[in-house]
Amino acid sequence: MTGMDEQGHPETEEAMAGELKHMVSEPLLPVEKALIAVSLLLGLGLLGLLLWVSRTFFPAP
């Protein structure tokens, strides 16, 4: 058992442990930066809206 799949990628825990130890850094792509930024901004932006809807239409009894 080599711990590699048909493409030569490790697919066992032992082989993955080695991969984790020697992982090469991949720079953040613009699309990843956009995903992070949009997600955070949407989260903060929706906070006010959802809070207003909660208190207006679903008030605490």
Partner 1 sequence: MRMKHPTHSEDGWAVLVGLILFALTMTLLGGIDSLGWVVVVREWTALEHALAPVSPAYASLAPVVSLVGTFFLMVGLFSLAAWLMGREVRSFVPAFAVLVAVSYACLVAGHHAWIAATPDKRAAHGLSWSMGLTGEAGYIFALAAGLVVGNCLPRWAAWLKPAARPEWFVKTAIVILGAALGVKAAGATRLASAVLFRGFAAIVEAYLIYWALVYLLARTVFKFSREWAAPLASGISICGVSAAITTGAAIRARPVVPIMVSSLVVIFAVVELLVLPWLAQACLYHEPLVAGAWMGLAVKTDGAAVASGAITDALIRSRAQADLGLTYEEGWIVGTATTVKMFIDVFIGIWAVILSLIWVYRIDPRPGATLPLGEIGRRFPKFVVGYFLTFLVVLTLCLTEQGWLAPLTLAAREADVFRTLLFTLTFLAIGLEADFRRLWAEGVGRLAVAYVVSLFGFIIWIGLAISWIFFQGVQPPTVGG
Residue 18 as a binder of partner 1 (CB under 8 A): the answer is yes
Q: Is 14 in the site for partner 1 (CB under 8 A)?
A: yes
Helix (H) or strand (E) holding 20: helix 13-21
Q: What are the b/e assignments for 16-41, b being 16+ CB within 10 Å?
A: eeeeeeeeeeeeeeeeeeeeeeeeee
Number of residues that bind partner 1 (CB under 8 A): 41
Q: Which residues contribute to the site for partner 1 (CB under 8 A)?
A: 1, 5, 9-14, 16-21, 23-26, 28-29, 31-32, 35-37, 39-40, 42-44, 46-47, 50-51, 53-54, 57-61
